[in-house]
Structure 1
Amino acid sequence: MTTETAPRIALPGGEMLAWSDLPEERLAEGGPLAALAAHAVPAGARVLLAGPHDPALLDRLAHAEVTCLLRSHPDAVALADRAARVVVAGPAGLPADERYDVVIAGAGLDAVESVEGARLGWAGVLDRLAAALRPGGTLLLRLDNPLGLHRLVAASPWYARRDDAAWTIGGVLDADRPANLEQLRGRLGDLGLRADACFAAYPHPATPTALVDADALARRTTSGFLDAALHGACSGPAARGTVLQDPARLAVDALHAGRAAELAPAWLVLAHRTGDPAGPDPAAAGRTHAAPAGVRQAAPRPAAAAAADGTAGDAAARSSGGLPVALVQTGPPGAGVVEVVDGPDGWRWRAETSEVRGGAAAPFASRLAAYRDPGALAGPVPEGRLLRTLLLDGCLRRDTDTLRRLLRGYARWLAGQVDADGRLAGPYGLASVDNVVVAGDAYAVLDPSWRAAEPLAVDVVLARGLWRFAAELLTGGYAHPWTSTLDVAGLTVVLGGVAGHDLDRPTVAAAVEAEAAIAAALHGLDADGRVALATELRAVEPTDPPRGSRSYQQLREAWLRQREELTRLAALLKWTEELLTSRERALRRADATINLLSGSLSYRVGRLAIAPARIAKRGARAAKRRARQALAPKPEETR
């Protein structure tokens, strides 16, 4: 511990000296939680950060005066330089007379209470944090869902965990804590807090990559954007591992059933203390608490002065525009958070950062096949349903007419977006079925920020989109109206025919290579990763399980397909063996007949009859050969 950080750490008692709560898995720039916290914290506000959080969250709150409430002394030493003050104790260690403009408990309340002091329980911790909130202040609280998606798909039961992080587990029978949103709203109301907004967190409570407004999930059940956001969050890197069933499929089904908010792994609730107008009090926001000598404090700044600061100005501007409907983080490591806001004319994109990640020269310099330009997210979010979902629904219902209409419309739309050279550039080069929404007969790219570095041929783009869908259809075990003996490339060719295009296997192979290069760019893979990915994609078979998380349900379906394939191959092998056996028996019968005929009198007479003819034929050949040699010029004559 340095002399600079020592005064910032208060030890009122109850600290855990050999324990660390800081998360091992961290999202770039703190992820959607940090972006949401930046909305809730105005410039110059006094903030109490209760519990362990990603250090990147403190960096996003540099425009405020942050006090960290931790129970781990090593964590306090690690965060001392990022906060104005760190209190290492349980909630009882907070001074009774201190009030804060914003209280953030984005890691829940279980990790706030120390085992070295008096135990208050979940409700007692909430009461203490609510008491530390000034009138009109804001509380950002995370509550884990005991019936969340992460528990429904977990391969190991939640109650059997033995790791250090699970030394306290909250079950559904714990009456001390709420088990759903209604109970949480009731608890907050009893404490004089009004829940103004609630966000469903996917795919895991500790590392959410998508925060979506719970009311929007209930209202917009057919939204293509929400479909893609939940599917992407539950099938991305944060959702890797072994599960019981595909969480992405279950999340999308819950969305269509209007239950995505109820099945969310966790909820983040923004509540305000009633009595005074919601929002920070400028006078209270300017107050500072007494700090030990040498401790850095955030000086109060007016809004105009804060606007001159980049971080604080951005936060103030976003806060003035209202809370977003969704905050989603996708793409390679380091990608920013994309926000969607609800405006008078509908949902609109709002990039969390104005920085362009990968300009026009970057892809050529790094030889990436695709790059992201968050600056392109400035218009309305396209309305409609996700094309992939409509195609899957048509396949499950064997609705060939709908499939033909959708695929031909998709192919015509792609052909109408070509440039002067007849190729597809920009976002249209990456317009696969999982990034295209359909509204009636109109097609549109859902996320235009991802762009192809170089223009691609129309057939290659179409084949890539159809190959991705064919791979998901076959490896996912979905029922479809075509023959079950098709491989992925063969089904891609069939889908191309349904779309009105005569695709061949070389075109499909080129599309697979393009898919490997684009996926490597989207996920930030290095050269070795790109080579491994290309090899993996070229080897995809219908009997393989889907890529991504290993689902027991999908592994069983893959095993059943492999068993059917082995049964078919065994039947084919048996038929081949029977055919060879019958041919061998026929040959044996023919050989026996020949041997029988060769010993008969007629056979011997025939051989005697044709023997002179064979001798004469051999003599004629010998005479012809000698005559040719006699007539050939001698070597001396040729000189």
Structure 2
Amino acid sequence: VARRAGSAAAAPSLPAVISSEESGRRDWRAVTTVHRGPDGWLTGLRPLQAGSERRERRVARDWSALDTQVAVGPTLEAELRRASVSGDVSAVRQLVKVLWAWLQDGWRLTGTEAEGRFFCTPANLVLSGGDLRPLDASWRLSQPLEDDVLLVRSLRAFAGRLLASGSEHPWAPDISPDSLTQTLCSMVGVPVTSGVTDVVARLESELQVVVQGGDAGAEALAYARNLERGRSQFVSLGGPSRGYREALSASTRLAQSLHEREGQVEWLEASLRSRDVQVAELTRTVGSLRSSASFKIGRFFTWPLRSLVGGVRRLALSAIPHGYLAKAQRLLAKVAQDR
């Protein structure tokens, strides 16, 4: 915000707001000013390099329209976010219908107004008097596009910004930007196909390379990253980061799972200690029995009978054919069990 220093009478008239663009090549950047005019607030663009227009490939920016009237009202993105935070899907649907109706009226626009619709994302549209007006109308794309492509481009940009910010919304925490775009477009009956998404990704990668700089390799990489960011909000290639709400939810689930596993480990350790005590007691009991005189006397007198039984058993098993040996062993075990 600009402020006067010193005497107000001697100071020149300064804009109320001065905003500079920090990213992009210098020849595409401008300084945005907002100042009061006779009929209200006016906004203007002052390029960092002299000239009234900048054009490269299909992208253009026109700085000739200075001191335009500022649209009064909230941005469409602010209204969509407010409805999303409150979980009011009906309000979201009504706002998407307003955007879709405005884009479908594009046939009424001619020249630079029609070429600027590609840049009319919810962050760059103001709801003023029941209508939508672009906040920055200096950007243009000299490529005729269908209305459904413009809708997908606009809502896909909003979906990516919403999920990247970690803001509250009524959909699944791990929903992808492309899935959220499909959800929003379905509210007005517009299908989102892979072909439409591909067109949007290619145009956005071209715009990125033109404004930021780069060669054909940089454009191909920007295109691949654009598609990957659409498939997941948690990608590592420069895409949106995991929001606070999703990270907190995942942390809570992991903490609960860890607490349950710790309880299971403690129960298993207690069971193992109890079994160890029982095994030790049984070992001592067996040891005391084997060392007793009665056990030794019994083993001595039963040795001839045990030897005879063992010999008869081996003889009987040797007389059984090899293929029936396993069956005979199971039969003997069953007879012994029944007895």
Normalised to the residue count of structure 2, the TM-score between the two structures is 0.63
Aligned to 2:53: 357
2:270 aligns with: none
Structure 1 residue aligned with 2:154: 465
3-state secondary structure, aligned to 1:270: coil
Equivalent in the alignment of 2:318: none
Q: 1:328 aligns with which of 5, 19, 27?
A: 19
**Counterparts of 2:215 and 2:191, CA distance in 1:** 35
CA distance in 1, matches of 2:212, 2:106: 26
State the Cα distance separating 1:373 from its structure 2 match. 1.0
Tell me the distance in 1 between the aligned counterparts of 2:120 and 2:226.
19
Instruction: Give the alignment partner of residue 455 of structure 1, picking from 136, 141, 144.
Output: 144
The match for 2:233 is 542
Task: Find 1:400's aligned residue among 85, 89, 95.
Answer: 89
- Paired residue for 1:431? 120
Residue in 2 that maps onto 1:344:
38
Structure number with larger C-alpha Rg: 2
**Which residue in the other structure is 1:411 paired with?**
100
Letter in 1 for 2:151: L
User: How large is the Cα RMSD of the aligned pairs?
Assistant: 3.4
Q: Aligned runs of 1:144-543 on 2, under 5 Å? A: 212-213=1-2, 269-273=3-7, 278-279=9-10, 319=12, 322-330=13-21, 332-334=24-26, 335-352=29-46, 355-358=51-54, 362-363=55-56, 367=57, 369-418=58-107, 425-484=114-173, 486-540=175-229, 541-543=232-234
Measure the CA separation in 2 of the matches of 1:434 and 1:563.
31
The CA distance in 2 between the partners of 1:490 and 1:336, in whole Å, is: 34
Give 4+ residue runs of structure 1 displaced > 4 Å after superposition. 545-550, 554-567
Letter in 1 for 2:74: R
For 1:506 and 1:566, locate their aligned partners in 2 and report how far apart those are by CA, in whole Å.
Answer: 39
Task: Tell me if the contact between 2:168 and 2:245 (Cα under 8 Å) persists in the aligned partners.
Answer: no
1:466, distance to aligned residue in structure 2 (A): 0.7
Shift of 1:456: 1.9
**Shift, 1:419, TM fit:** 6.1
Distance change >3 Å, CA 565–CA 501, structure 1 → 2: farther
Change (3 A) 1:270 1:524: farther
> Equivalents in 2 of 1:339, 1:524: separation in Å?
26
The DSSP-based 3-state class of the residue aligned with 1:447 is coil
Quote the Cα distance in structure 1 between the aligned partners of 2:146 and 2:227. 20
Identical positions, percent: 25
Corresponding residue SS for 2:53: coil
Q: Which structure shows the higher helix fraction?
A: 2
In structure 2, distance between residues paired with 1:555 and 1:545: 14
Gaps of at least 5 residues in structure 1 are: 1-211, 214-268, 281-318, 568-639
Contact 2:164–2:243 under 8 Å retained in 1: no
Amino acid at match of 1:543: F
Superposition deviation, residue 503 in structure 1: 2.8
CA offsets 1:583-615 (integer angstroms, 9 cap, x no match) = xxxxxxxxxxxxxxxxxxxxxxxxxxxxxxxxx
Alpha-carbon deviations, 1:111-160, whole Å to 9, x = none? xxxxxxxxxxxxxxxxxxxxxxxxxxxxxxxxxxxxxxxxxxxxxxxxxx
Contact 1:385 1:439 in 2 (8 A): yes
Report the CA distance between 1:513 and its aligned residue: 2.1
Pair 1:377–1:450, CA change in 2 (3 A): farther
**Structure 1: distance between partners of 2:239 and 2:19:** 19
Letter matched to residue 4 of structure 2:
L
For the residues of structure 2 that align with 1:442 and 1:527, how far apart are their CA atoms? 39
Residue type of the partner of 1:477? G
Q: Report if the CA contact (8 A) 2:45-2:63 is conserved.
A: yes
Amino acid of the structure 2 residue aligned with 1:433: P
- For residues 544-583 of structure 1, the C-alpha deviation after alignment (integer angstroms, 9 at most, x for no partner) is 4795898xxx56656557779999xxxxxxxxxxxxxxxx
Task: Give the Å deviation of 1:401.
Answer: 1.9
Cα distance, 1:348–1:545 mapped onto 2, change above 3 Å: farther
Once residues 566 and 494 of structure 1 are traced to their aligned partners in structure 2, the CA distance between those partners, rounded to angstroms, is 29
SS in 2 for 1:332: coil
Question: Matched residues in 1 for 2:234 and 2:165: separation?
Answer: 9
Q: Is the 8 A contact 2:156 2:177 kept in 1?
A: yes
CA distance in 2, matches of 1:556, 1:452: 36
Aligned residue pairs, count: 247
Unaligned stretches of 5+ in structure 2? 256-339
The residue type equivalent to 2:68 in the other structure is G
User: Counterpart amino acid of 1:337?
Assistant: V
Measure the CA separation in 2 of the matches of 1:561 and 1:507. Answer: 33
Deviation of 1:526 (Å): 4.4
Report the TM-score when normalising by structure 1: 0.35
8 A Cα contact 2:31 2:46, kept in partner? yes
**2: CA distance between counterparts of 1:526 and 1:395?**
39
Distance 2:252 2:205 in 1: 29
